[in-house]
Amino acid sequence: MNAISSSTITHHHLPVACYRPGTNQLSLIRARQEVVVQPQPQEKATSRAARLANSLSNLLHLHLETPLQKNLQYTDWNFLDQGNRTSPITSPREDISTKWREIHGSCDWENLMDPLHPWLRREIVKYGEFAQATYDAFDFDSFSEYCGSCRYNRHKLFDKLGLTKNGYMVSKYIYAMSHIDVPSWLERSHLVDTWSKDSNWMGYVAVSDDEESRRIGRRDIVVAWRGTVAPSEWFEDIQGKLEPIGDGDGDVKVEHGFLNIYTSKSESTRYNKSSASEQVMKEVRRLVSLYKQNGEEVSLTITGHSLGGALALLNAYEAAKALPDLPISVISFGAPRVGNTAFRDELHQMGVKALRVVVKQDIVPKMPGFVLNEGLQKFNEITGTLEWVYTHVGAELKLDVHASPYLKRGGFNLPGVHSLETYLHLADGFRGTNLTFRSDARRDIALVNKACGMLANELRIPECWYQLDNKGLVRNAYGRWVKPNREPEHIPSPSREVSLHASFVEMHGHYQGNQPLLSV
């Protein structure tokens, strides 16, 4: 739909106003009520497979559009194989240009999350896919000479991952390091000679193109941070020690390991002579200046999953300090607590809007501070402000794995529950706390099993299917299986010719419309 009409809403569905003069508030409007599929009377199912087949059959009927398709019969055995071919995998992308501030969190998403507004849902999924890209493109093969790098050149990243549909272009890669001595069993690579012994590709900066900027009402700068993959990062994550951040108020403290990854640098390294913090802020400042000079409205949206969500908050804190007039939002997935109450309060005072998407069964958002957390605030009169207590920041959208008819029941699959693809599946299907799973959810269900095994076995989707063919080995001209050479454009340490070309572009510049071709 291109617009949300209040004529489709009955008076008892209107939420409380989040008033801002001069606009038609999105908070006062709700999308047409989505159909709740009521199962038809049937004989009692005798097995889990039968129950799942019945559920899938009911859900599928709303996807079938033509008379021929309506006559097709699907079971759990062929639902994904044939069913997904009968409906597109992308949702409509409406013009939200007049409502972007509400969707960006100007009213802290009040009355937009339960029930979840379709426009907000699609933006959450969009930013979640940007975060997922940091996993899909990361080379975590410990036998690779490029272990810890991105598999693709930044100009090809979205094209390789099928994300060009979102209308953004990557302008900068971010690298981070850890200044720690790790045991030998935590070493990242089996190889002595790798592209970098100290640095990991940690994410990227992207910016909306002209068409997407018109749709969303502003030029949107996105920073996507990768979650934990490298063992050394896990070693950092579990330290659980608060320390002051930056040169601000000494009472503002954040977890030591997260801050170390964000701020560490060394002159002896190739990719971290400047820290991840310095890299990202230099690029954000440059882009903000560039587009504001063109008279455009600019926003900053920072996203990440797990550790990436923690880094996103640190990034937002620094950006709000440096660019106080810039609208800044954080949309995180499965993120842990990052700092203390003073950190939360200062982010709030600076106007940073944070939306935390969490799965009820995921333990990562409960860490650190599983015991010593914001729950102790109820005892403030006795204890006073506890600067060593961890506290979450912002609004929470809580999902539940039991809401989806496609996910396994029973057992407790910690990696699967924490997987970002599980989060995106649940977000795409979420309508409201007391509402059934969305029958017309569009994201491909098979994506859930990319790196885990959360899908019901009856769907017959292999676990952890997202991997390189033959573990990355190819047969050479002599018939031997070998590690392939990367194409020069995808090598993190570019050849002299590529470097010279990049230098020429950086010196002379090249523009396509308002979109600069930026430095490598």
Which pTM value belongs to this model?
Answer: 0.77
In sign, the C-alpha dihedral spanning 379, 384, 385, 389 is negative
Taking the mean position of all CA atoms in its chain, how far away is CA 290? 26
The CA distance from 290 to 293, in Å, is 5
Bond from prior residue into 21 cis (ω within 30 degrees of 0) = no
Protein fold of 100-399: Rossmann fold (3.40.50)
Helix axes 307-322, 256-263, angle to 10 degrees: 60
Contact indicator for 203, 225 with CB cutoff of 8 Å: yes
The CA distance from 456 to 49, in Å, is 9
Backbone angles phi, psi at 332, to 5 degrees: -115, 160
User: What's residue 98's pLDDT?
Assistant: 94
Residue 444 has which token pair?
């491909």
The CA distance from 301 to 127, in Å, is 8
Using DSSP's 3-state secondary structure scheme, residue 393 falls into coil
Backbone angles phi, psi at 198, to 5 degrees: -115, -25
First-to-last alpha carbon distance for the chain, in angstroms, is 39
Distances (CA, A) of 379 to 130, 134, 284, 385, 386: 40, 40, 40, 9, 10
Mean pLDDT by 10 residues, the chain (520 residues): 37 36 40 38 50 52 39 40 52 86 95 95 97 94 84 94 96 82 43 68 97 97 86 53 79 89 90 94 98 96 96 97 97 94 94 97 80 47 54 95 90 85 96 91 92 92 90 88 83 51 41 36
What confidence tens digit (pLDDT) does each residue in 111-153 have? 999 999 999 999 999 999 999 999 999 988 878 888 889 999 9
Q: Which residues are catalytic?
A: 306, 362, 418
